[in-house]
Amino acid sequence: MSEEKQKFRVGSVPYLNAVPLTRGIESELIFATPSKLAEMLRRDELDAALVSITEVLFNDRYDILDGIAIASLGEVYSVLLAHKQPLEKMTEVYCDTASLTGVNLLKVLLAEKNLFPQFKPLENYKAAREKDFVLLIGDPAIDFQRSEHTHEIMDLGTAWTEMTRLPFVYAVWALRRGVENRELRFELREAKNFGIDTMEFIIGSREEYDEDFRRDYFEWNIQYHLATDEKRGIEKFCELLRKHKLGDVHPPKYVS
């Protein structure tokens, strides 16, 4: 059985929000940022990866594993725009270079307000406090928000749901098309089920932050299903990406 598992090359993100989706298979994974995982998928160095939804929408070469996602309905806490000035004064925004979906979600949200700033790479996380407008994702976003800062916080999950009344899907399991992966799909579904079933253990045993925060984050901020409402959210995101000409968007293809 172990030999069968090893033939698949699978990547995931090193963020707290992905922990329940990789329960029990952590030792088999390659961990990297969303942008790095996307690069590896494009070079066919991975057979599957937990990647930003935009990587799948902009590249018609992946299938989405149905039923599993990293999503939110309202506040997500770990995808945010920190700003010292009103949004209307924004001419440039510095972006976490790990981010793909966060950048495109922010572009959509701002475009709907007729705001079109320049998007520039953030040189490092320490520099975030100096910026008037900065986009952060994942654990660095949590770290920033929980520390002392002088910025106002625009939570992108909250902004999306207020605008659309829909969930937002940040990441999905992208499967390289043309590879026989039935066993891998089963393994990824089992890992998610194990993670959800043992959520209390995850909340109590992880070392990131404090237990009260982990409980709020896992029980309130992050959702892990990909069902009808989440797919409607993806379709709305596709519609707005096309409306604002933010990329060549392909319809998502789901496999169970």
**Model confidence pLDDT, tens digit, residues 59-95:** 999 999 999 999 999 999 999 999 999 999 999 999 9
Predicted confidence (pLDDT) at residue 104 exceeds the cutoff of 60: yes
**Closest by Cα among 105, 80, 71 to 237:** 105
Report the number of distinct structural domains present in the chain: 2
Which tens digit of pLDDT belongs to each residue from 137-162?
A: 999 999 999 998 999 999 999 999 99
Q: What are phi and psi of 34, to 5 degrees?
A: -55, -45
Task: Note whether 62 and 177 are within 8 A (CB).
Answer: yes
Question: So what's the pLDDT on residue 179?
Answer: 86
Last residue in a domain, options 123, 147, 164: 164
156 and 175, same domain (yes or no): no
Q: Which residues 6+ apart lie within 8 Å of 73 measured at CB? A: 157, 161, 166, 167, 168, 223, 229
Q: What is the pLDDT of residue 3?
A: 45
Judge whether 157 and 75 are in contact, CB under 8 Å: yes
Domain boundary (113, 144, 164) is at 164
Residues 172 and 229 in one domain: yes
Residues 183 and 238 in one domain: yes
- Which residue, 96, 130, 164, sits at the end of a domain? 164
Same domain, 24 and 139: no
| Domain at 110, CATH number | 3.40.190.10
Do 91 and 139 lie in one domain? The reply is yes
Give the single-character DSSP code of 219: I
pTM of the model: 0.93
Half-sphere exposure of residue 114: CA atoms within 13 angstroms, side-chain side: 0
**Same domain as 39, residue 142:** no
Query: Which residue is it, tokens 């890992």?
Result: 191
Residues 83 and 44 reside in one and the same domain:
no
pLDDT at residue 5 in the model? 47
Residue 174: its pLDDT value, please?
Answer: 97
In order of 31, 124, 149, 154, the CA distances from 85 in angstroms are 35, 21, 13, 12
pLDDT at 113 over 90: yes
Per the structure, the complete domain to which residue 154 belongs is given by 79-164
Q: How far apart are CA 181 and CA 122, in angstroms?
A: 37
